[in-house]
């Protein structure tokens, strides 16, 4: 299906640094979801956002549902080696998910 615009495509960061990524869309969504996928595994849900303007945290992860309902960002604070992986955003309006292309995060010690 149609892809969202997710950036950056990849990030190489040092352990302890913060990570930010975002997604934008030309369409309005009712739900924004952030997933992490490790090699050979299915995506794991990190954060789900259901209201415009909502800011939600899950441990070191923070995500926001943009006021316009057309964008969302994900922040990871104080990165650790196990944060390595591909992060996908997805938008939904009680139908099919529309995915971003993913952000590859590499954490170096």
Partner 1 sequence: GAVVSQHPSRVICKSGTSVKIECRSLDFQATTMFWYRQFPKQSLMLMATSNEGSKATYEQGVEKDKFLINHASLTLSTLTVTSAHPEDSSFYICSARDSSGPDTQYFGPGTRLTVL
Residue numbers of the site for partner 1 (CB under 8 A)? 1, 3, 30-31, 33, 35, 40-45, 48, 50, 88, 90, 92-94, 96-97, 99-102
Smallest separation (angstroms) from partner 1 to the CB of 102: 6
Measured CA to CA, the distance from residue 19 to residue 46 in angstroms comes to: 15
Strands of the sheet with 71-76, listed across from one edge: 5-7, 19-24, 71-76, 61-65, 55-58
* 35 or 73: CB nearest partner 1: 35
3-state secondary structure of 97: coil
Question: ∠ CA 35-39-44 to the nearest 5 degrees?
Answer: 25
Smallest separation (angstroms) from partner 1 to the CB of 12: 16
Smallest separation (angstroms) from partner 1 to the CB of 45: 6
CB-based contacts of 85, cutoff 8 Å, min separation 6: 36, 37, 38, 39, 104, 105
* 30 or 77: CB nearest partner 1: 30
Smallest separation (angstroms) from partner 1 to the CB of 78: 26
* 16 or 27: CB nearest partner 1: 27
* 40 or 109: CB nearest partner 1: 40
Q: Find out whether 79 and 15 touch, Cβ atoms under 8 Å.
A: yes
């Amino acid at each position: 299906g149609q892809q969202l615009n997710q950036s950056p495509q990849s990030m190489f960061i040092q352990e302890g640094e913060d990570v930010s990524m975002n997604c934008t869309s030309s369409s309005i969504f009712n739900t924004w979801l952030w997933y992490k996928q490790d090699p050979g595994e299915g995506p794991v849900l990190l954060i789900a956002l259901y209201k415009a303007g909502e800011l939600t945290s899950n441990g070191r992860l923070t995500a926001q549902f943009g006021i316009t309902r057309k964008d969302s960002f994900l922040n990871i604070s104080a990165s650790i080696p196990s944060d390595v992986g591909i992060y996908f955003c997805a938008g939904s309006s009680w139908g099919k998910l529309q995915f971003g292309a993913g952000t590859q995060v590499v954490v170096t010690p």
